[in-house]
Amino acid sequence: MANVFESSKVVSLFKDERVLYPDFVPDVLPFRDEEVSELVFCLKPASIGRKPTNVFVFGKPGTGKTVTLKYVLNELKDYSDRAKGIYINCFEYSSKQSILARIANILGVAVPTRGVSSQEVFLRIIAVMKTTKVIPIIIFDEAEQLLSDDSTKDILYDLSRLPEQQKVLLGLVFISNDSFFLSNIDDRVKSSLQCSKIPFEPYTVPELKEILLARTKFAFFDYSLDKEVIPLCAAHAFKMGGDSRVALSVLLKAGRLAERKNSKTVSIVHVRASFLEEKPVKQEVTSNLSRQEKIILDYLSTLSKKEAESGELYKKFEGEYSDRSIRLAIALLKEKKLVSCKQVKKGNLFTRLIKKVN
């Protein structure tokens, strides 16, 4: 009998599907010229040994924040040896040790894996900055995550004071979906950071179409897509908040489905079918939650009405987490649409009712 893999015939519609993967960084970024030049303006001084301006980048999911920063870092790498980009996703690097280890690693600081305190790693980083005169540009992506834990908040405090205390230069870029990120940080830290703010607006339908079209040229063979496919993906992504990630992921899924069905082209039938598969996106969100967010969701699931007052949540996790970090976690869950919040009156007071969605 033929091998099962051999007998599964595959028509190739994709030239290179990797072009549609979420972490692919394209050579050109349509509609982000202004944001790119603003970033260049803030960071370029580092390439000639001057002080860069710190930046706060904010906007809804899928507005191109991450890809724009990665694009700018790639360009910076080709342009300057003096400035050194360090990209840190704060979900991935969520502890003080792991963040410092990553910075040390990229700056080429030798750090033994055991028996070294964070303080010692920090001192070694400073020493290397002084001897090499390299200016680190540290990008904290999903930066609101830094505020969920006291030890990672320390990093913010330490880094913000570094230029003045140690006479070394560095640039910091914070990326967040939460436009209130800056107002949630300590006043002293905020005032020494002096961040320049760059908002990222959601894409319109014509913009989404053009972004998709540019990617499609590299991802699919010429004959692969029916002409209604891109407009439909763009319209759907616009409905989902102008999120380019949705547009690309729907197109990728539709392409795979069309191949599996041995279809000669990708048609709107495949696109519609891939709308129904939106679930994995949510799973991705849930696997990226902070510990506080997870325990809140877990706790709400145990309740019959799946809801609790904010005060009840503070009390429940008292001793383990501060009210403030629980409040932040609730705000993040709300932003990710995993909980809903409602003001309710209780006696003479207003309180918030937090309810798990689904």
Ligand X SMILES: Nc1ncnc2c1ncn2[C@@H]1O[C@H](COP(=O)(O)OP(=O)(O)O)[C@@H](O)[C@H]1O
Binding site residues, ligand X, CB under 6 A: 22, 24, 26, 29-32, 59, 61-67, 211, 244-245, 248
Count of Cβ atoms closer than 10 Å to residue 153 Cβ: 17
**Interface with Mg ion (CB under 5 A):** 66
Q: Least Å distance between CB 74 and ligand X?
A: 13
Helices (H) and strands (E) in the chain, counts: 15, 8
DSSP per position, 209-231: HHHHHHHHHHHB-TTSB-TTHHH
Q: Least Å distance between CB 22 and ligand X?
A: 5
Closest CB to Mg ion among residues 23, 34: 23
Closest CB to Mg ion among residues 66, 145: 66
Both structure tokens of 173: 């870029």
CB-based closest residue to ligand X: 64
Q: 257-265 long-range contacts, Cβ below 8 Å, gap at least 24?
A: 258/13, 258/224, 259/10, 259/11, 259/12, 259/13, 259/14, 262/9, 262/10, 262/11, 263/11, 263/13, 264/11, 264/223, 265/13, 265/223, 265/224, 265/225, 265/226
Closest CB to ligand X among residues 59, 136: 59
What does 245 interact with, of Mg ion, ligand X, none (CB < 5 to 8 A by kind)? Answer: ligand X
Closest CB to ligand X among residues 58, 317: 58
Q: Least Å distance between CB 15 and ligand X?
A: 17
What does 61 interact with, of Mg ion, ligand X, none (CB < 5 to 8 A by kind)? Answer: ligand X
Q: Least Å distance between CB 140 and Mg ion?
A: 11
Q: Least Å distance between CB 324 and Mg ion?
A: 24
Closest CB to ligand X among residues 245, 253: 245
Angle of helix 323-335 versus helix 291-302 axis, rounded to 10: 80
